[in-house]
Structure 1
Amino acid sequence: MKAMICEKWGGPEDLKLLDVERPPLKPGQVRIKVRAAGVSFATTLVIAGKYQRRPPLPFAPGTEASGIVIEADAACRRLKVGDEVVAVLDWGGLAEETVAHEVNVFPKPRNVGFVEAIQLAISYPTSAAALTWPSVLDLRKSQTLLVHAAAGGVGMAAVEIGKIVGARVIATAGGARKTEFARAHGADHVIDYTSADFREEVLKLTSGRGVDRVYDPVGGEVFAQSLRCLAVGGRICPIGFAGGSIPQVPANILLVKSIAVMGFNYGYYVGWSPHDARFEEAERTLALMERIRVWCEAGLCRPHVDRIWRLEEAATAMRALLERSVAGRVAVVMDT
């Protein structure tokens, strides 16, 4: 089979399209004929050796894929050959075939294509859990939610899910195209951070009160200013640090405003942490994915892919992400 292979730590251009052996099927796993795979900012960190987990070299990167089950181990109970699925992978998505633990594979919504479905592996469950689980943001109807990087994968999902919950959603994005994208996905108010101070705009929109919840994939100064436009008793959830800087939390602001920072790592629930909790958390993750499937089939979630590349063009897809020229997600599709 063909796969994009990372043989050494480096940039997207260091990946090679090679013919490789099919990955072995282990107990409790399914083999998937990949129709589409996702790449993200995190993928570029993985191939550079800068992510929190390093696959053993050589490997095919890619942690999210959609496709059709073509083989299932006898221990599998939920899935069978022929099922159309979405899979969370340890790695191996940028290949014509991949294998995944059944616990990390879920039915694809009937009304979502294989290309768009890649976002349901990680982006949507990350946002859904962070926004709705009581231990994280616990967003409630009529609260005000601030979503940063709203034209990105998790940001887009957060805007849609915020509206499903019944919140008032304020989104930030950069430039006319991305702000319009955030508005099209349901944001009540959109702030172009390239031309306005989002903190000032948020305080204007909330009559000085501030927002109840903040969903932040950016970090750095965005996180710092978000703390200052939180309402008393508010919560903020750092999801990632796409801005490149990991913020330090000023505890005095937490104290004075009675606000909380709620960290969330979806990787813990799908096996990407030192403690592999994917099996003990399987029931919770399956319930989350079923909830997302229902939202999709009701037309409440509208996964969007901005551009599509073929497998041999995966490096170009990653470069587009690094250049921040994408609204939503990009996908890599297979010839087979």
Structure 2
Amino acid sequence: MQAWQVHENGEPGEVMRLDEVPEPEAGPAQLKLKVLAANINFPDALLCRGQYQVRPPLPFTPGVEICGRTADGRRVIANPALPHGGFAEYVVVDEATLLPAPPALDDAEAAALHIGYQTGWFGLHRRARLQAGETLLVHAAAGGVGSAAVQLGKAAGATVIGVVGGPDKARTATELGCDLVIDRRSEDIIAKVKEFTGGKGADVVYDPVGGDAYAKSAKCVAFEGRIVVVGFASGAIPSPALNHALVKNYTIMGLHWGLYAQKDPASIGRCHAELTELAAQGAIKPLVSERVALKDAAAAVQRVADGVTTGRVVIIPEGAAR
């Protein structure tokens, strides 16, 4: 079968190579899946660079999120275990971790549902306890992680402010339903948030960017607000001033979704049931901006790494129906 492999660390477009490899064999309590669609996540780019918290042995196949089909015809969502990721024609996964693909979503949308939307749901609901009527500020609102948070925030009854970079992404954020869109390249985030909220600030901030985005969030978060730290797509990890959190009375909280699979695995299934229902209602629908062939995966991962994409970019192997 064909699979993309990384033989040395570096930029995805330079180090990913499409190889012919043997089809994987399922072990005890595992299932072999035909990959119908593989969603590209920013961590896939970090894996290529050797900058992710997990460093699989070389060579490895990236791809941490797929929609696949079992031998008996079930359509499922899975997180393939590295080093044998999902940018391939077939994968092997632990049967206990499989989740049914929501009928309301096609293969590409289902492949993009799991990590980003679960992260958003746990971050906004379990960690930040977002309430209807509160104001939610989402950084990188037109991206894969941010667009999920925007949809989940709107579904929860929040007023959503989306921060983006550039007019094209601003249009995407508006189409997603943001009540206010701020272009960080040409507008003052702090002033715009305070003006929109009557000086109060944002009740919840969802930050997958870090760096300057975090610094500005701390200056426009509301009294008893909550800043949810999801990641550091900017490459800069901020050092928060805890005295500032003290005098302004706000909370800084981290969200590492992967820990729930270890510490509270039943919560993953409960969250998926909630997301499936929201998808059935039409309240959430992953924004798939590009569907690319397997042969074009390296260039697609590089575009995600460069931050020039909106929504999700999904790989569709040849022969996959949707």
When the two structures are superposed, what TM-score results if normalisation uses the length of structure 1?
Answer: 0.91
Where does residue 34 of structure 2 map in the other structure?
A: 33
Deviation at 1:269, TM superposition (A): 2.6
Deviation at 1:141, TM superposition (A): 0.9
CA deviation map 1:106-146 (0-9, x unaligned): 1111121111212112111111110011xx11101111110
Could you say what secondary structure the match of 2:93 adopts? strand
Could you say what secondary structure the match of 2:77 adopts? strand
Question: CA–CA distance in 2 between the matches of 1:152 and 1:205?
Answer: 23
Could you say what secondary structure the match of 2:70 adopts? strand
**Does residue 1:327 correspond to 2:277, yes or no?**
no
Asked whether the 8 Å contact 1:215–1:239 carries over to 2, the reply is yes
**Does residue 1:119 correspond to 2:89, yes or no?**
no
Asked whether the 8 Å contact 1:103–1:282 carries over to 2, the reply is no
CA deviation map 1:301-333 (0-9, x unaligned): 021111122112111101211332211010111
**Does residue 1:296 correspond to 2:279, yes or no?**
yes
Question: CA–CA distance in 1 between the matches of 2:60 and 2:213?
Answer: 34
Where does residue 103 of structure 1 map in the other structure?
A: 96
Asked whether the 8 Å contact 2:41–2:64 carries over to 1, the reply is no
CA deviation map 1:126-180 (0-9, x unaligned): 11110011xx111011111100100011100100100111111111111222111
**Does residue 1:177 correspond to 2:171, yes or no?**
no
Equivalent position amino acid for 1:295 in 2: L
Equivalent position amino acid for 1:290 in 2: A
Question: CA–CA distance in 1 between the matches of 2:168 and 2:301?
Answer: 20
Pick from 134, 142, 147 the counterpart of residue 143 of structure 1: 134
**Does residue 1:9 correspond to 2:9, yes or no?**
yes
Deviation at 1:255, TM superposition (A): 0.5
* 5+ long unaligned stretches in structure 1: 71-80, 271-276
CA deviation map 1:244-284 (0-9, x unaligned): 100001011111011110101012234xxxxxx1xx52211
**What's the % identity of the aligned pairs?**
39
Question: CA–CA distance in 2 between the matches of 1:108 and 1:310?
Answer: 21
Asked whether the 8 Å contact 2:39–2:65 carries over to 1, the reply is yes
Deviation at 1:289, TM superposition (A): 0.7
Where does residue 203 of structure 2 map in the other structure?
A: 212
What's the Cα RMSD here? Answer: 1.2
Could you say what secondary structure the match of 1:309 adopts? strand
Asked whether the 8 Å contact 1:89–1:104 carries over to 2, the reply is no
Where does residue 74 of structure 1 map in the other structure?
A: none
Equivalences for 1:115-264 in 2 at 5 Å?
115-133=108-126, 136-264=127-255
Question: CA–CA distance in 2 between the matches of 1:331 and 1:306?
Answer: 8
Could you say what secondary structure the match of 2:254 adopts? coil
Asked whether the 8 Å contact 1:3–1:96 carries over to 2, the reply is yes
Question: CA–CA distance in 2 between the matches of 1:301 and 1:175?
Answer: 24
Could you say what secondary structure the match of 1:122 adopts? helix
Question: CA–CA distance in 2 between the matches of 1:264 and 1:11?
Answer: 27
Asked whether the 8 Å contact 2:112–2:314 carries over to 1, the reply is no
Question: CA–CA distance in 1 between the matches of 2:229 and 2:63?
Answer: 23
Deviation at 1:29, TM superposition (A): 1.9
Equivalent position amino acid for 1:335 in 2: E
Deviation at 1:64, TM superposition (A): 0.4
Asked whether the 8 Å contact 2:69–2:75 carries over to 1, the reply is yes
Where does residue 77 of structure 1 map in the other structure?
A: none
Question: CA–CA distance in 1 between the matches of 2:95 and 2:188?
Answer: 46
When the two structures are superposed, what TM-score results if normalisation uses the length of structure 2?
Answer: 0.95
Equivalences for 1:280-291 in 2 at 5 Å?
281-291=264-274
Pick from 288, 300, 304 the counterpart of residue 305 of structure 1: 288
* 5+ long unaligned stretches in structure 2: none
Where does residue 75 of structure 1 map in the other structure?
A: none
Question: CA–CA distance in 2 between the matches of 1:105 and 1:162?
Answer: 26
Question: CA–CA distance in 2 between the matches of 1:211 and 1:48?
Answer: 34
Equivalent position amino acid for 2:230 in 1: I
Deviation at 1:24, TM superposition (A): 2.6
Could you say what secondary structure the match of 2:112 adopts? helix
Could you say what secondary structure the match of 1:195 adopts? coil
Question: CA–CA distance in 2 between the matches of 1:186 and 1:29?
Answer: 40
Question: Structure 1 stretches (4+) deviating beyond 3 angstroms?
Answer: none
Q: 1:309 to 1:86 in 2, by over 3 A?
A: same
**Paired positions, count:** 316
